[in-house]
Amino acid sequence: MRRALELAARGRATGPNPRVGCVLLDADGTVSAEGFHAGAGTPHAEVAALTALAGPETGLTAVVTLEPCSHTGRTPPCTQALLAAGVARVVVAADDPNPQAAGGAAVLRAAGVDVETGLLAAESGALNERWTAAVRRGRPWVTWKWASTLDGRSAAADGSSRWITSAAARADVHRLRAAHDAVLVGTGTALADDPALTVRADGTEVAGEQPLRVVLGHRELPPHARLRDARAPLRQLRTHDPHEALAALAAEEVRTVLLEGGPTVAAAFWRAGLVDEVVCYLAPALLGAGPLAVGDLGVTGMPDIARLALRDVVRVGDDVRLTARPLPPVAPGAGDPTTTHPAVHQEASSVHRDR
């Protein structure tokens, strides 16, 4: 199963489908074939492994990181492929949370296949954490990214903002973009900055599919806007409602969204409870005046303070990247969440520093 998880990790981290790996064992427990899912429209891991077999075999065991699908989508059901190949036993790490595809284990058992589930389920869940959350919630996973000076400014008093962070941090942002299905900004940012919102390396667009560029708001983009070019698809959602925006993206099977700003739009997502992770690039610099990087979060006093669980601290060039996740609200009188919430203690050991 650990080998199957390694194979799954080779799959595409973005797109509508999860990452899945499969190892086929012969009747003696020897590996006969391997496979993984490379992305939507390509063979699923089980079919890829079966195709890699040198020839027909009996008594096969399929070790799969996710429950084999039982429905016809872009490809036929994996359960039928396993049955047609005469697989005798299937070992599954995690159940499929997608109601459209779940039920494969039951189908296989009904056909007389020996099925075991739950082996390294936590590891499989971690591999597809954002995809699983998106499927279960019916909306994309949202990562809020921003960059600021030590005094929390996103630009100088005259509005100039290039560049607050180092070249290394900006390159890291492009890797972050590449890990998401869509990049979202408001019309204010789109009109003021004329961003491209593409994934680039050394100033040049990387090869392959680019994230969907999403603009939230009613104002029209000018015809010459860089967001209108052919380098990546564009979707303008003419609404200010974050729930409505994510519902529209979910309908297009967008699983992950990188929220890049500006502060007003980002704060609206936060107030709506729709931010799953925060990534902040903090530059060792001071401006003393200028626009704040974060807008009004609805906090009026210390009892309402927005607490986050720190998951990762990494030095990137001369800057620091902090990754954190919102903590659930603490009931009045429950104590200081920074010392009492279990998530804080759980994550403390994962924080590391690049020296």
Note whether 231 and 273 are same-domain residues.
yes
Q: Is 34 a catalytic residue?
A: no
The verdict on residue 97 lying in a domain is yes
Note whether 244 and 302 are same-domain residues.
yes
Domain termination site, one of 132, 164, 192 = 132
Query: In the beta sheet, which residues pair with residue 316?
Result: 319
How does the average pLDDT of the chain come out, rounded?
Answer: 90
Q: What percent of the chain has pLDDT over 90?
A: 80
Note whether 158 and 118 are same-domain residues.
no
Q: Which of 34, 46, 67, 260 is catalytic?
A: 46
- pTM assigned to the model: 0.88
Q: What percent of the chain has pLDDT over 70?
A: 92
Name the band, by pLDDT with cuts 50, 70 and 90, for residue 24.
Answer: very high
Note whether 24 and 95 are same-domain residues.
yes
Note whether 275 and 257 are same-domain residues.
yes
The verdict on residue 238 lying in a domain is yes
Spatial CA neighbour of 280 closest among 169, 181, 174:
169
Which three-class secondary structure state does DSSP give residue 84? helix
Least confident of 5-14, 86-95, 195-204, 249-258: 195-204
Domain termination site, one of 132, 163, 196 = 132
Return the structure tokens found at 320.
């620091």
Say if CB 266 and CB 293 are below 8 A apart: no
| Domain tally, the chain | 2
Model confidence pLDDT, tens digit, residues 151-185:
999 999 998 888 899 999 999 999 999 999 999 99
Note whether 125 and 155 are same-domain residues.
no
- Mean pLDDT across the stretch 82-89? 96
- Domain with 115 in it: what CATH number? 3.40.140.10
d(CA 121, CA 70): 19
Maximum CA extent, the chain: 73
d(CA 278, CA 266): 11
Model confidence pLDDT, tens digit, residues 50-80:
999 988 889 999 999 999 998 777 778 999 9
Say if CB 195 and CB 188 are below 8 A apart: no
- Domain with 338 in it: what CATH number? 3.40.430.10
d(CA 224, CA 205): 19
- Between 331 and 78, where is the model more confident? 78
Note whether 180 and 320 are same-domain residues.
yes
The verdict on residue 92 lying in a domain is yes
d(CA 19, CA 12): 7
- Mean pLDDT across the stretch 125-143? 96
Confidence (pLDDT) at 336: 54
The verdict on residue 353 lying in a domain is no
Domain that holds residue 296: 138-348
The verdict on residue 149 lying in a domain is yes
Amino acid at 350: S
Model confidence pLDDT, tens digit, residues 338-353:
544 444 333 333 344 4
Note whether 123 and 266 are same-domain residues.
no
The verdict on residue 355 lying in a domain is no
Note whether 46 and 15 are same-domain residues.
yes
